[in-house]
Amino acid sequence: MAQLRKITIDPVTRLEGHGKVTIHLDGQGEVLEARFHVTQFRGYERFCKGRPMEEMGAITQRICGICPVSHQLGSAKACDAILGVEIPRAAILLRELLHMGQYIQSHALHFFYLASPDLLLGWDAHPAKRNVVGVLQEFPEAAIQGIRLRSFGQEIIRRLGGKKIHPVFAVPGGVSDALSPQDRDQLLEGFPEMYRAFSCAMEIFQNWWEKNKDEAVGFASFPSNYAGLVDENGNLALYDGEIKISGPAGEPKARFAPRDYLEYIGEKVEPWSYLKFPYFKPDGYPEGSYRVGPLARLNTASGITTPRAQKALETFRASAGCGLPQGSLYYHHARLVELLYALEKAEELLQTEVICSKDVRITVPRPAQEEGVGVVEAPRGTLIHHYRVDSHGVIEDVNLIVATGHNNLAMNRAITSVARTYIHGGIVKEGILNRVEGAIRCYDPCLSCSTHALGQMPLLIELINPQGDRVLELRRNS
């Protein structure tokens, strides 16, 4: 049996939440399977019961400090459905603008802070350097552009909701306040610089891709289903639309209204993780595995409605040749295409005449429906809020399915693929840990969101021999 070893890696890994990976080896030291365990306990769905539905937007956005806007919007849409209202057009546009601010700050955060250390410094760079501080030291201009892009997205959120994190804006029936012409004009002035910052990000990625194409194309690559919102013409939709599920070759498998999600999406529980395993019911479990998020959205949509992002989408698809892009590292490219779309869409929304209208909310005295479903595309993927209330609007039941949950089966397939590629004869080098993490990181998981827990995140990787003994432990401390 291999000698017991323990490797501690510091600083904290570039994921959000608590996770553990176990890799099981056969007698020759080859990988049988790998599992991604989420070790946080899920509790939000339970303690939301008994609360007035008007509080849900404020409560559920506390699930996460990275994507509170997505939870607020999902919650507001679920409450709109319960109230039976169609909110004013200005409120829809302002919610979309808030959403684009979220996309800009979240995608910039992931690319520059979490992914770029692997791309710019290398998988095998020393762990003490392989982080955003290392990027700042070696590539200061890239780091500064990332900070500017994220700050701009946060500024959009602040102008609408009063603060950059946990804003108060989307409410049942609309939004809480109108956008002033002064704020609109000042935001519009920032776009030229943001497009330049985006070009910097895309140049970094494309240069890295060309130098590492052979490894990148096959990294954690596997066929799967894909899911995402699309508009009435099948184009990319981030705030509203129908849920479309397509197969590995892009063939359509289902398209349905968000309120009907339970007919198509089931959830399984495994004893080794607190994170549930959603699946596409018609294909069964686990064959019904599907992916969500940037790669899935671009593989599901027929096109993008803004010109620069549409051109970037065509380049993205051409990079994969004849078939759909399937490698997990394509998520980074897809994320940048969406970042460009978010910039264009935000600028388009701000140039809309009605954006400063004061008609931004409808109020009604009591619920019109017992249930409501709100679905948006969070930066990490499809987010579902489903509430059931009594006649006074008090919450009786809650179901939340977040992006990281949808990707649970896919992330387990991704780390198994990477472990089988790089681990042979039971030999593991430090860079293996980072590649396994990198496979998870492609999906930009938020484990706090997915289990709705509080806390920090160490990542632990264990190698298990055929007798069930732990032969190696690789740990990242929080």
Using H for helix, E for strand and C for coil, what is the string for 104-160? HHHHHHHHHHHHHHHHHHCCCCCCCCCCHHHHHHHCHHHHHHHHHHHHHHHHHHHHH
Q: Tens digit of pLDDT for each residue in 457-471?
A: 445 667 677 777 776
Percent of the chain with pLDDT over 90: 66
Task: Tell me what pLDDT residue 455 has.
Answer: 38
Task: Tell me what pLDDT residue 403 has.
Answer: 87
Task: Tell me what pLDDT residue 71 has.
Answer: 94
Separation of alpha carbons 215 and 354, rounded Å:
48
Q: Which amino acid is at 351?
A: Q
Structural tokens at position 284 = 């069964």
Q: Residue 12 pLDDT more than 70?
A: no
* Mean pLDDT value across residues 67-76: 94
Task: Tell me what pLDDT residue 456 has.
Answer: 39
Which of 20-24, 98-102, 108-112, 447-451 has the lowest average pLDDT? 447-451
Task: Yes or no: say if 80 and 372 are a contact pair by the CB < 8 Å rule.
Answer: yes
Q: Residue 297 pLDDT more than 70?
A: yes
pLDDT category at 453 given cuts 50, 70, 90 is very low
Torsion of CA 410, 240, 201, 116, to 10 degrees: -30
* Mean pLDDT value across residues 21-30: 84
Q: Tens digit of pLDDT for each residue in 299-353?
A: 999 999 999 999 999 999 999 887 899 999 999 999 999 999 999 999 999 999 9
Which of 131-135, 223-227, 255-259, 339-343 has the lowest average pLDDT? 131-135
In sequence order, the 6+-apart residues with CB closer than 8 A to the CB of 30 are 420, 423, 424, 425
DSSP-derived 3-state class of residue 236: strand
pLDDT category at 427 given cuts 50, 70, 90 is confident
Task: Tell me what pLDDT residue 430 has.
Answer: 77
Structural tokens at position 401 = 């399915």
Write the Ramachandran bin of 284: left for phi over 0, alpha for psi from -120 to 50, otherwise beta. left
In sequence order, the 6+-apart residues with CB closer than 8 A to the CB of 343 are 100, 104, 191, 194, 195, 198
pLDDT category at 35 given cuts 50, 70, 90 is confident
Separation of alpha carbons 316 and 353, rounded Å:
33
Place of tokens 């198994």: 416
Q: Give 180 or 468, the one with higher predicted confidence.
A: 180
Alpha-carbon torsion 126, 128, 131, 132, what sign?
Answer: negative
Pick the closest to residue 398 from 365, 374, 381 (CA basis): 374
Q: Give 52 or 11, the one with higher predicted confidence.
A: 52
**pTM exceeds 0.85 for this model:** yes
pLDDT category at 452 given cuts 50, 70, 90 is very low
Q: Tens digit of pLDDT for each residue in 395-410?
A: 999 999 988 899 999 9
In sequence order, the 6+-apart residues with CB closer than 8 A to the CB of 427 are 29
Separation of alpha carbons 253 and 227, rounded Å:
10
Which of 153-157, 272-276, 398-402, 469-473 has the lowest average pLDDT? 469-473
Place of tokens 């409501």: 372
Q: Give 168 or 305, the one with higher predicted confidence.
A: 305
